[in-house]
Amino acid sequence: MTRSGRPLVRSLVASSILGALLSAGMGAGVGAAQAADAPKISIMVGGINKLIYLPAKLTQQLGYFKDEGLDVELLSQPAGVDAENELLAGAVQGVVGFYDHSIDLQSKGKEVEAIVVFGQVPGEVELVSSSAAAQIKSMADIKGKTLGVTGLGASTNFLTQFLAAKNGVKSSEFSVLPVGAGNTFIAAMQQKRIDAGMTSEPTASRLLSTGQASVLVDMRSLEGTEKALGGAYPASSFYVNRAWAQSHKAEAAKLARAFVRTLQFIHTHTPEQIAEKMPKDYYANNKALYLQALTNSMPMYSPNGKMPVGGPETVLKVMSSFNPNVKGKHIDLSKTYTNEFVDQALHASK
């Protein structure tokens, strides 16, 4: 071969090697590069450090958004109703919150749909403070009392109203006070501004471990949820405007794949392994208690992200029993969720 031909050969060989590396072993790097170029997707979480919404932050920590070439920004509001308002205002593209908001919003002429279900049950618990425990033995005893919820119009408020009505207590016979979650909820109970309240993990375990509260209604398990609500109650989910899902099918599919991978990770790893992936400040200076709360929460996570059969019907029944916006109105449940993107993700992972 002539000297003049050697540079061309070297160039061709180098190009071949580079192509092989890109196709065989640099997928993650390509995903990161695509994420840098992709338009930002903002997701509002109704309390990012709540264990009911753990899949959102865990997906980010595991790098699954970047693997899909997505640039995702996770934001946080203390209550689901605030997150919902951000979506309706167009400030964010999606919300990690309770599925029941999609039913409530449809009754108001707004169409949003859950495209991934995180929680098979609410993961919420009604706690009664130690100072009021002697007077409040069940939800039938809350007349004249003040109950804490994360926010007015939040799912904790929906569930509180239902449990009260189920036990013969009218909404006019007790008060609700929005107190958020975490430290603000704990402070409200310590300061006796609320007699009881609905919260989730790890807030519940923090109060129970110190004896400052006891359990009144437990919806952290399927058994407890069926007893309290009459059936499975799909709760934490990722929902978007239906119009956005239809006009951004590629992005919706990528988000679903990322979340489904995370749910599969949860069901194939121990609470200790999962906790190690989370930011250390989520432990609230007590990793052992965080681990206990996470262990208690493990059964609530969906194994695949699909809407459980019969779940939407149970949620609608609960909402119709007390919510004047929903009661008596025709709600098309098929427009409140879709398994389309999750099914695609599950098929691709086989």
pTM of the shown model:
0.85
Asked if residue 319 and residue 187 are part of one domain, the reply reads: no
| Out of 19-28, 32-41, 75-84, 295-304, least confident range | 19-28
Q: What's the mean pLDDT in 242-254?
A: 97
Distance separating alpha carbons of residues 49 and 39, to the nearest angstrom: 25
Asked if residue 222 and residue 198 are part of one domain, the reply reads: yes
Handedness of CA 256, 261, 267, 271 (dihedral sign): negative
Q: What's the mean pLDDT in 219-247?
A: 95
Reported confidence tier of residue 92, pLDDT bands at 50, 70, 90? very high
Percent of the chain predicted with pLDDT > 70: 89
Asked if residue 102 and residue 50 are part of one domain, the reply reads: yes
Any domain includes 132: yes
**Token pair of 105, please?**
């919003």
Any domain includes 14: no
Is residue 90's pLDDT more than 50?
Answer: yes
Cβ contact 31:39 at 8 Å: no
In our burial notation (b when 16+ CB lie closer than 10 A, e otherwise), range 29-68 reads eebeeebeebeebebbbbbbbbbbbbbbbbbbbbebbbbb
Q: Write the DSSP symbol of residue 305.
A: -
Asked if residue 241 and residue 115 are part of one domain, the reply reads: yes
For 201, phi then psi, to 5°, come to: -80, 145
Cβ contact 117:233 at 8 Å: no
Is residue 34's pLDDT more than 80?
Answer: no
User: What integer pLDDT is reported at residue 36 of this predicted model?
Assistant: 57
Asked if residue 87 and residue 51 are part of one domain, the reply reads: yes
Is residue 32's pLDDT more than 60?
Answer: no
Q: What's the mean pLDDT in 1-19?
A: 44
Q: Containing domain of residue 319, as a range?
A: 30-120+234-349
Distance separating alpha carbons of residues 85 and 72, to the nearest angstrom: 19
Is residue 9's pLDDT more than 90?
Answer: no
Reported confidence tier of residue 12, pLDDT bands at 50, 70, 90? very low
Is residue 78's pLDDT more than 80?
Answer: no
User: Of residues 175 and 348, which shows the higher confidence score?
Assistant: 175
Asked if residue 317 and residue 269 are part of one domain, the reply reads: yes
Any domain includes 23: no
Asked if residue 185 and residue 98 are part of one domain, the reply reads: no
Distance separating alpha carbons of residues 234 and 142, to the nearest angstrom: 26
Is residue 305's pLDDT more than 60?
Answer: yes
Distance separating alpha carbons of residues 201 and 50, to the nearest angstrom: 6
Mark which of 173, 201, 229 sits at the end of a domain: 229
Q: Up-side HSE of residue 182: CA atoms within 13 Å toward CB?
A: 16
pLDDT digits (tens, 9 = 90+) for 42-76: 999 988 999 999 999 999 999 999 999 999 999 99
User: Of residues 55 and 80, which shows the higher confidence score?
Assistant: 55
User: Of residues 250 and 231, which shows the higher confidence score?
Assistant: 250
Asked if residue 225 and residue 143 are part of one domain, the reply reads: yes
pLDDT digits (tens, 9 = 90+) for 310-332: 999 999 999 998 888 898 899 99
Query: Which region holds residue 63: left if phi is over 0, alpha if psi is between -120 and 50, else beta?
Result: left
User: What integer pLDDT is reported at residue 14 of this predicted model?
Assistant: 44
Reported confidence tier of residue 288, pLDDT bands at 50, 70, 90? very high
Percent of the chain predicted with pLDDT > 90: 78
> What are the residue ranges of helices labelled H in 110-248?
155-166, 183-190, 203-209, 222-229, 242-247
Mark which of 174, 194, 229 sits at the end of a domain: 229
Mark which of 189, 206, 229 sits at the end of a domain: 229
User: Of residues 11 and 113, which shows the higher confidence score?
Assistant: 113
Q: Residue 331's closest CA among 127, 112, 150?
A: 112
User: What integer pLDDT is reported at residue 173 of this predicted model?
Assistant: 98
Query: Which region holds residue 156: left if phi is over 0, alpha if psi is between -120 and 50, else beta?
Result: alpha
CA dist list (Å): 340 to 255, 305, 334: 12, 11, 12
User: What integer pLDDT is reported at residue 194 of this predicted model?
Assistant: 99
Give the largest Cα separation in the chain, rounded.
Answer: 98
- The number of residues in the chain equals 350
How high is the mean pLDDT of the chain? Answer: 90
User: What integer pLDDT is reported at residue 17 of this predicted model?
Assistant: 41
